[in-house]
Amino acid sequence: MIDLKLLQKEFDHVSAQLQRKGVTAETMSVIKEKNEALKKAKASFEAAQADQNAMSKLFGVYKREGKDIAELKAKVDANKVIVSERQEAQRQAEEALTSLIMAVPNIPDANVPDGAGEEENVEIKKVLTPKTFSYTPKEHWELAETTGWIDFERGVKIAKSRFSVAFDMGARLERALINFMLDFNRERGFMEVSVPQLVNRKALEGTGQLPKFEEDLYVTTDGMYLIPTAEVPLTNLYQDEIIPEKELPIKMTGYTSCFRKEAGAAGRDTRGIIRQHQFHKVELVTISKPDESDAIFEEMVSCASDLLTALELPHRLVTLCTGDLGFSAAYTVDLEVWLPGQNTYREISSVSNTRDFQARRAKIRSKIEKKNTLLHTLNGSSLAVGRTIVAIMENNQNEDGTVNIPEVLKPYLGL
């Protein structure tokens, strides 16, 4: 959620920054209007209420002094009508504003490049050089068949499209990767946490998936939601808390399944396991003091990048432009892994600093220098498991359709 006080104080600046993320000038001025209307409605309601409170207090005095309360009661009764009218006006004004601002994305950092979409993301650097093949490298779904690691048809049979089944070494590789990633992250100072994979609405509002992206979430019959990422439960662990300063930063890593309807992705990546309704991911989440978040962001990017390097996977780092930046992020670096079969780099991790955007929604604070201060929340994948398997398959493939296991994973596979 954006800071309404900041908006009020520096409307032109905030408005301009948000317009970079596609919020219209019109929406901004409506928000400004609604905010002012709410303040007026609130002041008028509170004034009536102050009258009410003052008169109510007199009852105690009158009673003690044995005075007649009939006249006072008539006055209070008349005021009560005014109070309830103004209360309703305030409630409506509040609702109008809230529904607007909950759907406003975070303000992008000043150094985020402008751009319409992923084509305009800016490369930071490449890590490791892709190896050259003496033949045309196969795509992972072809290798899925020769290795027998992934079965797409049976996934569809028992669920529907965009579900798959991992068999034998495919399944073992998944488990090995999860353990390897968790251990790697833990050695970098991230505490391992195991969280629920169903959460309530409030949690999703806290991290920004709701109310705007309801159509991409699976919901259960009793109103719980399947998590689209471990970022949701991990970040919301500290919802509505005032965290002692000495406990900061809180650096966590967790493995969960993730569930996404992929509502807006019809026709994209329909083959293979790049875009599934259910996938495994190891996530990093940090809650930090505001002045530490930039340094921690770099740590998180390095963690994910070094993980890819340890797996011997060539990749590159890109800064997302305004058009590709997510709803809650102020700044995001994507890690894209080289897929020789597709002859391109594909996203395998996304590390974001949301600054105080989620903290404001979720009320995550700490008392810093005697003042309750909204903290910064950061999240990043380290890494998406399915896509890592894709990358391993395509980068480590042999001409006969077999795939070599990366050295670092062998201990995890008993090899």
Give catalytic residues, as residue numbers.
260, 275, 347, 350, 387
Q: Which residues contact 315 (CB under 8 A, 6 or more apart)?
A: 126, 127, 128, 305, 308, 335, 336, 337, 338, 345, 348
**Contact stretch for RNA (CB under 7 A) within 69-77, 108-116, 158-166, 347-355:** 69-77
Binding residues for RNA, how many (CB under 7 A)?
Answer: 26
Q: Which among 155, 138, 156 has a CA at the least distance from the CA of 147?
A: 138
Answer whether 166's CB lies under 8 Å from 147's CB: no
Residue 160 has a CB neighbour count (10 Å cut-off) of 9
Binds RNA (CB under 7 A): choice among 43, 116, 171, 295: 43
Query: What is the nearest approach in angstroms of RNA to the Cβ of residue 56?
Result: 4
Task: Decide if residue 47 touches RNA (CB under 7 A).
Answer: yes
Instruction: Please choose, from the candidates 162, 123, 131, the residue with its C-alpha nearest in 3D space to the C-alpha of residue 394.
Output: 131
Tokens of 310: 């340890």
- Reduce the DSSP state of residue 352 to 3 states and report it: strand
Which amino acid makes up residue 164? S
- Return the range that interacts with RNA (CB under 7 A); candidates 51-59, 107-115, 285-293, 304-312: 51-59
The binder of RNA chosen from 77, 119, 187, 400 (CB under 7 A): 77
User: Judged by CB, which is closer to RNA: 13, or 73?
Assistant: 73
For residue 63, state whether it binds RNA (rule: CB under 7 A). Answer: yes
Pick one of 60, 66, 264, 267: the residue that binds RNA (CB under 7 A).
Answer: 60
412 secondary structure, DSSP code:
G
Q: Does 369 bind RNA (CB under 7 A)?
A: no
Residues 6 or more apart whose CB falls under 8 angstroms from that of 20 comprise 108, 112, 114, 322
Hunting for tokens 């391992």 — which residue is that?
A: 192
**55 near RNA (CB under 7 A):** yes
Nearest to 285 by CA among 350, 374, 378, 184: 378
What single letter denotes the amino acid at residue 252?
Answer: M
32 binds RNA, rule: CB under 7 A: no
Do 353 and 379 touch, CB atoms closer than 8 A?
Answer: no
Question: Binding of RNA at residue 263 (CB under 7 A)?
Answer: no
Q: Which of 39-47, 179-187, 206-214, 319-327 is the region at the interface with RNA (rule: CB under 7 A)?
A: 39-47
Q: Which of 19, 44, 49, 278 binds RNA (CB under 7 A)?
A: 49
Identity of the residue, 46 or 151, whose beta carbon is nearer to RNA in the bound complex: 46
Pick out residues in 220-259 that bind RNA (CB under 7 A).
242
Nearer to RNA, 47 or 116 (CB): 47
Dump the DSSP string for 310-321. Answer: HTT--EEEEEPP
Residues lying near RNA in the complex (CB under 7 A) are found at 4-5, 39, 42-43, 46-47, 49-50, 52-57, 59-60, 63, 73, 76-77, 80, 242, 365, 367, 372
